[in-house]
Structure 1
């Protein structure tokens, strides 16, 4: 696939890294010669210095032969124009734009990005996507990652196996026998720096990060089975009153009216805007690094602090200070991947990687076949994929135990007729089933083949 990426920042770099790793032909455009030099020196991509919305720059980057353009610069207007120019002059088939300003996404303007009005196939709002992830993490404090599939009926939980985890050193098949009514399947494990799929003979070990696919209603029970019984937060402090902070606070006001939320915002204008846009949320003007402000926010009584500023260092220090002052738990937004590996040593209970959210949304539209949703885990070394089975799929009609699935693939759940099913050896996949599975990076191409439309039907 030939792909043009406009924007060589953290998000653009992450997308280019993932796509070039999969042998796609990638061209990256950015106005910064320094960023282009850095990305071309470290990745197998072509770089072009210039504006991604300018026709001559797009032409140099090979837009006339491109299959997709992904516009993820810092400026919404450039992203929009780049997609429009790519469509009008070069007939690029798929156009994806990152849109950050929430005024473009207001409900009353819901038709703005419809195909009748603009030549943009997919819009991605990092703020909303990250906000949704924050809300899921608040709802399931025992999980280090939570993602929804199958119209929100299936959850993927990343669960750390602590020293007191009841299920360690037990073959997974025994867990299925002990809890036959629990719709949950361990599909992958991150152990000693390596990510792999697992089968029913595998045993979890202390320190493992297990990836579990389960029926959404069974998520809390699944966490309890792993020994995670953390209580949901009812007193929350949010550092950062920008788009993400306001989205989270507003959603909590609507969905959990009994939960008390306070926001700390350093910028006065943003603090005023947040106080005007929110109802029951208390907004404090000041720095999360100021102990006096933290005391005003009653941090010593808080169940959780969520640091969502634009500065990773502020998010880390604010989260750590809050915990030292008595806050029960913390959750930090970390953009730089260099901080992720050090999260535990930095005394962070959990963190959110906004780049992974955006990259996953892009991958959904890069993948071939009937792929409905994709979520990349462990820096793209594996993916949780939701795919629709077709009549022509080799999965359809045979018992799963009779199918020689490629190595690295593990089916976690099947969504059929609005019912979530746990797969076993006797199950037969039917056409139109939605299959949620784990795939290692090396086996993603095999997944695409399993869910592609047969050429005989064209």
Structure 2
């Protein structure tokens, strides 16, 4: 499932019928692999307020991270070491991490790293895989989440294609024929200031929930009740089919 951030995660978990597990407001996250993808994952978690540790086996790559835009972040820690060395990982506190994410280029090394993290006590583990046939295999191993690199590519492509719009686009990994779209309600939109039932939204798109900011800039999620009034700057999380992404664009284009 795609989520716009930690603030909306609990709502999505409830929506899909799962129990919400306690999660710290400032989680400790370890990213195994200082690749381009690993740095993007680390950057995202830093933006969410997490403490992030990157474990990289190649000394040159580990040193190069200091020159990256996130290299000087006070909540970033870069470790040069073997991610499957129990002595090294225990020394850096791997077992005390809330989340472990594998971002290595080799699928088998990624799987080994996450199984090792689980063995050390990390309860939330995930990885990016090049071989989509391995996704369900690793889920059966107990790894919390796994993503086919193709879906990452599709997500990135949609973002690039629609970069002039307010929305973010993501293929929902558990529902392959559904795309999650985030759009902001602008003052010029015909449905701004109207109730959802009066907005003229077609059957092929569904508003999953509404994110709204208060006067202090804090975001909260609201159920898309037909009588809910949409106001300027609301964020609508919309589910639709890939064939209707262009139609959603037209609906929000002003």
* 2:57 matches 1:266: yes
SS of the equivalent of 2:20 reads coil
Q: CA deviation at 1:314?
A: 1.2
Q: What is the Cα-based RMSD across aligned positions, in Å?
A: 4.4
Cα–Cα, structure 1 residues 309 and 427, in superposed 2: closer, same or farther, change >3 Å?
Answer: same
Q: CA deviation at 1:319?
A: 0.3
* 2:197 matches 1:401: yes
SS of the equivalent of 1:340 reads helix
Q: Which residue of 2 aligns with 1:304?
A: 99
Alignment of 1:24-43 (within 5 A): none
Q: Which residue of 2 aligns with 1:373?
A: 167
* 2:235 matches 1:438: no
Q: Which residue of 2 aligns with 1:147?
A: 4
In the TM superposition, what whole-angstrom CA distance separates every residue of 1:90-138 from its partner, at most 9, and x where no partner exists? Answer: xxxxxxxxxxxxxxxxxxxxxxxxxxxxxxxxxxxxxxxxxxxxxxxxx
Question: Normalising by structure 2, what TM-score?
Answer: 0.67
From 19, 23, 27, the equivalent of 1:230 is 23
Alignment of 1:415-434 (within 5 A): 422=222, 423-429=224-230
Cα–Cα, structure 1 residues 157 and 371, in superposed 2: closer, same or farther, change >3 Å?
Answer: farther
In the TM superposition, what whole-angstrom CA distance separates every residue of 1:21-50 from its partner, at most 9, and x where no partner exists? Answer: xxxxxxxxxxxxxxxxxxxxxxxxxxxxxx
Cα–Cα, structure 1 residues 382 and 392, in superposed 2: closer, same or farther, change >3 Å?
Answer: same
Q: Distance in 1 between matches of 2:234 and 2:93?
A: 49
User: 1:245 touches 1:308 (CA, 8 Å); kept in 2?
Assistant: yes
Question: Normalising by structure 1, what TM-score?
Answer: 0.41
From 282, 285, 288, the equivalent of 2:81 is 285
Q: CA deviation at 1:362?
A: 3.4
Cα–Cα, structure 1 residues 390 and 440, in superposed 2: closer, same or farther, change >3 Å?
Answer: farther
User: 2:172 touches 2:180 (CA, 8 Å); kept in 1?
Assistant: no
Q: Distance in 1 between matches of 2:231 and 2:27?
A: 43
Structure showing greater Rg: 1
Structure 2: 5+ residue runs without aligned partners? none
Q: Distance in 2 between matches of 1:254 and 1:391?
A: 30
In the TM superposition, what whole-angstrom CA distance separates every residue of 1:61-90 from its partner, at most 9, and x where no partner exists? Answer: xxxxxxxxxxxxxxxxxxxxxxxxxxxxxx
User: 1:361 touches 1:374 (CA, 8 Å); kept in 2?
Assistant: no
User: 1:289 touches 1:314 (CA, 8 Å); kept in 2?
Assistant: no
Provide the aligned length of Structure 1 versus Structure 2. 241
